[in-house]
Structure 1
Amino acid sequence: MEGNMLLNLFAKKEAFARCEKGATAIEYGLIAAGIAVAISVVVFAVGTDLVNLFSNIGAKITAAPTGG
């Protein structure tokens, strides 16, 4: 009886060790985190350039002579 329980326990341990569902989920999580970091870096870099661009455009519009 105890031998069967021990054998069953080892069989379940081996099946759990061979299961790759958890590893796959972790891999997808790491990929998603990497993509999120990349998007954040791009948005931060482009965002400051866009602020400068629109500030320059606004300054030129304000400094433009008015027709009359």
Structure 2
Amino acid sequence: MINAYATLASLVAFAQDRLKNEEKGATAVEYGLMVGLIAVVIIGVVATLGGQLAELFASVSEELPAVTTTTTTGG
């Protein structure tokens, strides 16, 4: 994860250097690198927190039938 952060920091520094040199924006290759890096970070976060998210959704889905049963029989 630290390696991804270092890569992101160097990519941002490179983009800032290009913009300071009076160049007009980033090229398609740089945009592709940024999108790829963002995708890697998202995949890493989902892989890290995936188990916790699965438990959260499971607990919510277990509670939903109880809520709908209570509201339909209570009224």
Q: TM-score category by the smaller chain? A: 0.3 to 0.5
TM-score (norm 2): 0.40
TM-score (norm 1): 0.43
Bigger relative contact order (CA 8 A; separation at least 6): 2
